[in-house]
Structure 1
Amino acid sequence: MKTLVIVGHPDLNSSRISKAWTEVLEQQKDITVHVLSGAYPDKKIDIAREQALLDGHDRIIFQYPLYWYSTPPILKQWFDEVLEYGWAFGPGGEHLKGKEIGIAISTVGTAASYQPGGYNLFTIRDIAKPVEALANYVSALYLQPFALHNANRVTDEEIAESAAAYLKHLETVHNIKSPELITR
Structure 2
Amino acid sequence: MKTVINLFHPNYQYSQVNRAMVDAVKDKIEVRNLAELYPDFNIDIEKEQQVMANADRIVLQFPLQWYSTPALLKHWEDQVFTYGWAYGSQGNTLQDKQLLIAVTVGADNYGRDGFVKYTVDELLRPLQATSRLIGMKYMKPFVVMGASSISNAELKNVGPSYSKYLNDETIPVLGDFE
- Shorter-normalised TM range: over 0.9
- Specify the alignment match of 2:45 in structure 1: 47
- Specify the alignment match of 1:82 in structure 2: 80
Task: Output the TM-score relative to the length of structure 2.
Answer: 0.92
Per the TM alignment, residue 116 of structure 1 is displaced from its structure 2 partner at its CA by: 2.3
Q: Deviations over 1:38-60 (max 9, x none)?
A: 11122211000100000111111
Q: What amino acid maps onto 1:145 in structure 2?
A: P
**Within 1, Cα distance between the matches of 2:74 and 2:143?**
19
**Pick from 136, 146, 151: which aligns with 2:147?**
151
8 Å contact kept, 2:63–2:70? yes
8 Å contact kept, 1:25–1:167? yes
Q: Please, which runs of 5 or more residues in structure 1 have no aligned partner?
A: none
- Specify the alignment match of 1:161 in structure 2: 157
Q: Which stretch shifts more, 158-167 or 92-101?
A: 158-167
Q: Deviations over 1:15-69 (max 9, x none)?
A: 11112211222111xx211110111122211000100000111111110000011
**Within 2, Cα distance between the matches of 1:127 and 1:169?**
21
**Within 1, Cα distance between the matches of 2:91 and 2:152?**
43
- Specify the alignment match of 2:27 in structure 1: 27
User: How many residues are matched?
Assistant: 174
- Specify the alignment match of 1:94 in structure 2: 92
**Within 1, Cα distance between the matches of 2:166 and 2:72?**
23
Larger relative contact order, structure 1 or 2 (CA cutoff 8 Å, min sep 6): 2
Q: What amino acid maps onto 1:45 in structure 2?
A: I
The 5 A counterparts of 1:1-184 are 1-28=1-28, 31-110=29-108, 113-172=109-168, 173-177=171-175
Q: Deviations over 1:78-126 (max 9, x none)?
A: 001011111000121101100010211111111xx22223221122111
Per the TM alignment, residue 133 of structure 1 is displaced from its structure 2 partner at its CA by: 0.4
8 Å contact kept, 1:64–1:104? yes
Per the TM alignment, residue 13 of structure 1 is displaced from its structure 2 partner at its CA by: 1.2
Per the TM alignment, residue 157 of structure 1 is displaced from its structure 2 partner at its CA by: 3.4
8 Å contact kept, 1:146–1:166? yes
Q: What amino acid maps onto 2:40 in structure 1?
A: D
SS of equivalent residue, structure 1 residue 114: coil
Q: What amino acid maps onto 2:7 in structure 1?
A: V
Q: CA RMSD in A?
A: 1.4
Q: What amino acid maps onto 2:54 in structure 1?
A: G
Q: Please, which runs of 5 or more residues in structure 2 have no aligned partner?
A: none
Identity between Structure 1 and Structure 2 (%):
33
Task: Output the TM-score relative to the length of structure 1.
Answer: 0.89
8 Å contact kept, 1:124–1:145? no
**Within 2, Cα distance between the matches of 1:176 and 1:106?**
19
